[in-house]
Amino acid sequence: MGEESLKKRKGEDKGRGDRQSIQSHEPQTMNLQKQAIFLLFLLCGICMIVGTIIGSGIFVSPKSVLANVEAVGPCLIIWAACGVLATLGALCFAELGTMITKSGGEYPYLMEAFGPIPAFLFSWTSLLVTKPSSFAIICLSFAEYASAPFYPGCDPPQVVIKCLAAAAIVVITIVNSLSVKLGIIFLLFAGKTENFKDSFKDSKISVSSISLAFYNGLWAYDGWNQLNYITEELKNPYRNLPLSIIIGIPLVTVCYVLINISYFTVMTSTELLQSQAVAVTFGDRVLYPASWIVPLFVVFSTLGSANGTCFTAGRLVYVAGREGHMLKVLSYISVKYLTPAPAIIFYGAIAIIYIIPGDIDSLINYFSFAVWIFYGLTVLALIVMRFTRKELMRPIRVPIIIPVIVTLVSIVLVLAPIISAPELAYLYCILFILSGLIVYALFVHLKFSWAQKISQPITMHLQMLLEVVPEEEVTE
């Protein structure tokens, strides 16, 4: 009996020791799981930023940036400076995004700082100008590179480019409505650096040329604020939002500068300016006979960027509709797919209208002028709320000098082209933005009864057609 009792006690002690060992490993396992989940969501945030930024810009803008400054040295400096400005602006948006954790990008920040009128003007301009034109530019770039291999030695017909761009918009819109879900280094080391000699010679430096060069360079970086449009859907935004920015945008900046160095390694400035598709010419020089890989990768890149832009911009339409600043049906959610389908379809329809008369260069200038008005105003909102909304929690607090610099640069970018090289297009853009005041007064502030009588049957029929309902009905 004594031996059996001793064996039993030893068995119990061993079992207890095993349980303690298992329990001691549980916290470690849970910590590893938490770290893995955090890294996964952080990677998703970085991919969203990088995937949205790197789209058509790096294949379209190098030619325009060089055309404005006319020298390799200033061109590379502007590409790096655009990356620095995008990073500083994104850091300001990181403070705003963790202070006001609402989707919609600039919209909720302007609403909180300045009230409904500037917020409405932003949504009015974004929904009808900046976001659709951005979507249209990316899809037009996709269409140019997708059709280029089929028209060697000449430019593809415009009707082909526009039809391909429209098809891309339709496909991306449908997808987002249904689901949420070494050669150049060798050449450099081999001494292929003659294009970098006297890189500042014959450069064209003026306020106007630099501003227009920045417009085209910053277009390539556009997307640095895209995570702020889906803050409500971002896991742990207090950590993932700033880290995604700090890692993602400098990574893109390094890539852009290296890509431009690659272009100038195999092409002179004159050859780059004469090229119809810079990346295709680059591929012909470096990868021939496998140069077909370049337009293929450009197609994938532009489609990915267009998809990210559509995904985030649809949320802006949705938030504006939820606040009563757009048709109420635009804030409705698909019953089957739980996506803001009406907002995404609306956005895609406006983008198709833009590709009909527009070309890439004019759309970029039009887009950049309008968007930097509101970028500057949003960063100014951050400065204002430092004094007017001190009670708001700020998990991230950037030095005040950063939003001051971004605001001043935004003012220069907006005013410099108007002062040094005035064009009617800038006046039309300002008038269109201000026309939003009339729309706001009639349909939002006064809320005319006849307008409601017209919108109610439209909302009812669209609701039945698209099978969408208000958000509160889905959450319940």
What's the confidence (pLDDT) of residue 471?
A: 66
Q: What is the mean pLDDT of residues 241-259?
A: 87
What would the pLDDT profile of 442-460 be if each residue is shown by its tens digit? 877 777 655 566 667 777 7
Using the Cα atoms of residue 147, residue 150, residue 156 and residue 157 in order, give the sign of their dihedral.
negative
Amino acid identity, residue 386? R
pLDDT (average), residues 46-58: 76
Share of the chain above pLDDT 70, in %: 78
Indicate if the pLDDT at residue 266 is higher than 80: yes
φ and ψ of 292, to 5 deg: -65, -20
Return the SS3 of 156: coil
Question: Residue 317: what pLDDT?
Answer: 67
Give the tens place of pLDDT for each residue, 99-132.
Answer: 887 777 788 899 999 998 998 899 888 888 888 8
Of 76-85, 404-413, 453-462, the one with minimum mean pLDDT is 453-462
Q: Across 74-78, 239-243, 379-383, which has the greatest mean pLDDT? A: 379-383
Mean pLDDT of 36-49: 70
What is the DSSP annotation of 195-209? GGTTTTTT----HHH
Contact by Cβ (8 Å): 379, 89: yes
The predicted-structure confidence for 201-233, as pLDDT tens digits, reads as follows 767 777 778 888 888 888 888 878 777 766 666
Highest mean pLDDT range out of 54-58, 155-159, 303-307, 465-469? 155-159
Q: Which of 25-29, 342-346, 427-431 has the lowest mean pLDDT?
A: 25-29
Distance CA 235, CA 237 (A): 6
At residue 232, what is the residue type?
E
| Domain ranges (residues) in the chain | 41-194+202-468
Q: Which amino acid is at 388?
A: T
- The SS3 assignment for 468 reads strand
Tokens of 240: 């993932």
**4-8, 60-64, 293-297: least confident range:** 4-8
* pLDDT (tens digit per residue) in 149-202: 888 777 788 899 999 999 999 998 888 888 655 444 545 555 556 666 666 676
Neighbouring-strand partners of residue 234: none
Residue 23 pLDDT greater than 60, yes or no: no
Question: Which residues, listed in sequence order, are joined to residue 468 by a DSSP beta bridge?
Answer: 334
Give the per-residue pLDDT at 190: 55
pLDDT tier for residue 7 given thresholds of 50, 70 and 90: low
> What DSSP line would sit under 47-116, residue for residue?
HHHHHHHSSSHHHHHHHHHHHHH-SHHHHHHHHHHHHHHHHHHHHHHHHHHHHS--SSTHHHHHHHHH-H
Cβ–Cβ < 8 Å for 432, 122: no
Specify whether the CB–CB gap between 42 and 244 falls below 8 A.
yes
Quick one: which H or E segment has residue 21?
A: helix 2-53
Residue with token string 């989940």: 37
Domain 41-194+202-468 has CATH 1.20.1740.10: yes
**What's the whole-number mean pLDDT along residues 267-294?**
79
- Looking at residue 81, what is its pLDDT? 92
Query: Under 8 Å CB-to-CB from 371, ≥6 apart: which residues?
Result: 130, 222
Locate 158 and state its tokens. Answer: 């415009």
Count Cα atoms within 13 angstroms, Cβ side, for 460.
Answer: 6
How far is the C-alpha of 291 from the C-alpha of 256, rounded, in Å? 20
Mean pLDDT, range 402-429, rounded to an integer: 86
pLDDT score of 62: 86
Report the range out of 24-38, 106-120, 227-241 with the highest average pLDDT. 106-120
